[in-house]
Amino acid sequence: MRTMIGIFEDHPDLREALVQLIGQTDDLECAGAWEHCAVIPAAVRSCNVIVMDIGLPGRSGIEGVREIKTRYPSVEVVMLTVHEDEQKIFDAIRAGASGYLLKRTEPAGILDAIREIRTGGANMTGSVARKVLSLLQRDHRRQSEEFGLSERERQVLQSLVKGFSYKLIAEEYFISIDTVRSHIKKIYEKLHVHSKSEAVAKAMKSNIL
């Protein structure tokens, strides 16, 4: 079954290039492409992943993400933007984005990110991930103790922030995927969140790592 993709991009050439890129794959299908998110179309509900620009006319992509996650919580969103300042990264993730890519990302990298997010991972351009970690490293010990995270839970949460899938986390720490799931369940309970994007956003907001 193909993964349905929606695109919000105001530049016509890039929008068409993304549509064509997705159309060349066997496992992905474009469900729609729109130049703004002033009105979130009903077609979004049929999408599995949304590729969202930030600098859209009239209404920012961050506001669009927030509405999509409110109305359709199961729809994942990856930002594809030129913006790499800390505040926009933080705001996008806090709004519910599961990935954050820069527009200079190679086409194959965009497709890999979509697939990763579809299967439960999170994906960020390397420079973005470093900015995220820089934010999280501020006062991390105090916050880790405040939330009661163990050292291994803190490591797993840090891997989620980096965009690692459950499989990659298991390989990184030589544990089973079931153990990874158990750690993540405990992390959700301790942070009082219900999803990966909420956990990453709270980690960033609270400087846990």
50-61 b/e (C-beta count within 10 Å ≥ 16 → b): bbbbbebeeebb
Tens-digit pLDDT profile for residues 70-126: 999 999 999 998 887 778 888 888 888 888 888 988 999 999 989 988 877 666 666
CATH number of 137-206: 1.10.10.10
Predicted confidence band of residue 140 (pLDDT cuts 50, 70, 90) = low
159-191 pLDDT, tens digit per residue, is 998 889 999 999 999 999 999 999 999 999 999
Domain residue extents for the chain: 3-125, 137-206
Q: How far apart are CA 145 and CA 208, in angstroms?
A: 9
Mean pLDDT of the chain: 86
pTM: 0.63
Are domains 3-125 and 137-206 of this chain identical in fold?
Answer: no
Report the topology of domain 3-125: Rossmann fold (3.40.50)
Determine the Cα–Cα distance for residues 9 and 206; give it in Å rounded to an integer: 31
